[in-house]
Structure 1
Amino acid sequence: MGFLSSLFGNKQYTDINGNELQKMIKENKALLILDVRTVDEFRSGHIPNAKNIPVQELNSKVNTLEVYKDKEIVVYCASGGRSASAANILAKNGFNKIYNLGGISNYKGKLK
């Protein structure tokens, strides 16, 4: 049962869509937008002001995000799988305002 509940229940982050992200960007200047794709994917186009930490490096670099522990963090990747993993890593490390945009295609604005 524990395995299934970890897959389907007790999610410690909130899924959002592109419209919700746009509203968050307008209302919260301290918002961290975290791109968990590879460096090359990030360079090919990303959400403006996003910080890039590839998901495979997040565990070792999570301490660099300490200042955001009680602030809103939006994570995204290419399709949603890595961002969900990243959201879980953040939650396990005590971050409590985590939002998962899923894939970058959910973003409605211009990429940088």
Structure 2
Amino acid sequence: MESAIDFDAEAKLHLEDHVTTEQFVTMVIRSCKGNIEPTRGCWSSGYMDYALYKGIIEDYDLTNISKPIERRSAARIVHEALLTEFGEKDEYEWSAAEKLRDLYSCHTCVMHIAQVYVKGIMLGRDHYMFDAAGSLTRAEAAAVVVRMLDREQRIPQTGGREFQSKNLSPDEARELMLTDHTAMLVDVRTNEDYETGHLQESICIPLHHISNNPYSVCVRKDIPLILYCQRGYKSSVAAQALIDAGYRRVYTIPGIEQYPYDLIATT
């Protein structure tokens, strides 16, 4: 059978060979679902179709199926598999990942990299670099899958970097806004999300606007900027962009999924 030949060839790969997207997705899905028969001519089609159906991969992954998988893509796939296949919740405290200098190099990858890093499933190339665009060897990919499956094999990461935005509790943020009337409460989600429900007195400046031009938020760099989003990832990315731009009083508060706020819908 063609599939048997392909699987035999896969098994004979050298440990230092780079793993393709096709091979990595197969390793992840087969580890939790067992053997899946091909749905089309390609031996991996059953695994790829299942991963696509469950939202573990995206359509664009299929265009890179035979290319070496990037570490940021592997992080995304593992994170999505943890959520959908194992029902494993995200770590609320993920500041340890903020010491990675390239954590924010891909805005859509932040939460995926942060979660697999702090959980100890995928470690950095060193203490300060994840190597988001780097590749995975077969040995590294196998270690990632083992840690995904077995919590005892994980190496959890703790301790955030020194230079980061300050996290405030909702009460602390409220007190700051009462004592400093120049303070701005900023929702960095999309305009559509903002209209669905937002915090009173907040304004919407989407993350992509802040990333493209952080100086557009306000002229003065000593004004308190209090950021929030859905789960804390976008606000952290926005905060770092503002800090890098020279804003000195940047704060984040828990996302609206992390605290029982009273939300206001735009009518």
Q: Would you call these one fold, judging by a TM-score over 0.5?
A: yes
The farther-off stretch of 20-29 and 62-71 is: 62-71
Helix, strand or coil at the partner of 1:2: coil
Query: How far apart are 1:58 and its partner, in Å?
Result: 1.2
Residue 111 (structure 1) aligns with = 263
Distance 1:64 1:23, change over 3 A: same
Residue 25 (structure 1) aligns with = 177
Report the Cα distance in structure 1 between the residues aligned to 2:259 and 2:181, rounded to whole angstroms. Answer: 17
Query: How far apart are 1:12 and its partner, in Å?
Result: 2.7
Report the Cα distance in structure 1 between the residues aligned to 2:258 and 2:248, rounded to whole angstroms. Answer: 22
Report the Cα distance in structure 1 between the residues aligned to 2:173 and 2:218, rounded to whole angstroms. Answer: 22
Query: How far apart are 1:79 and its partner, in Å?
Result: 0.7
Give the letter for the 2:180 counterpart.
Answer: N
Report the Cα distance in structure 2 between the residues aligned to 1:108 and 1:17, rounded to whole angstroms. Answer: 12
Give the letter for the 2:196 counterpart.
Answer: S
Query: How far apart are 1:72 and its partner, in Å?
Result: 0.5
Relative contact order (alpha carbons < 8 A, sep ≥ 6): 1 or 2 greater?
A: 1
Please, which of 195, 201, 205 is the counterpart of residue 53 of structure 1? Answer: 205
Helix, strand or coil at the partner of 1:75: strand
Helix, strand or coil at the partner of 1:104: coil
Query: How far apart are 1:104 and its partner, in Å?
Result: 2.4
The structure whose residues are more often strand, as a share, is: 1
Report the Cα distance in structure 2 between the residues aligned to 1:92 and 1:75, rounded to whole angstroms. Answer: 15
Query: How far apart are 1:108 and its partner, in Å?
Result: 6.4
The farther-off stretch of 79-88 and 21-30 is: 21-30
Give the letter for the 2:195 counterpart.
Answer: R
Question: C-alpha root-mean-square deviation of aligned residues, in Å?
Answer: 2.1
Residue 13 (structure 1) aligns with = 165
Helix, strand or coil at the partner of 1:74: strand
Matches within 5 A, 1:51-90: 51-90=203-242
Structure 1 length as normaliser, TM-score? 0.84
Q: Percent identity?
A: 24
Query: How far apart are 1:19 and its partner, in Å?
Result: 1.1
Report the Cα distance in structure 2 between the residues aligned to 1:61 and 1:52, rounded to whole angstroms. Answer: 15
Residue 41 (structure 1) aligns with = 193
Unaligned runs of 5+ in 2: 1-126, 131-158
* Contact 1:36 1:83 (8 Å CA) reproduced: yes
* Contact 2:229 2:255 (8 Å CA) reproduced: yes
Unaligned runs of 5+ in 1: none
* Contact 1:18 1:108 (8 Å CA) reproduced: no
Residue 3 (structure 1) aligns with = 129
- Higher-Rg structure is 2
Query: How far apart are 1:10 and its partner, in Å?
Result: 2.4
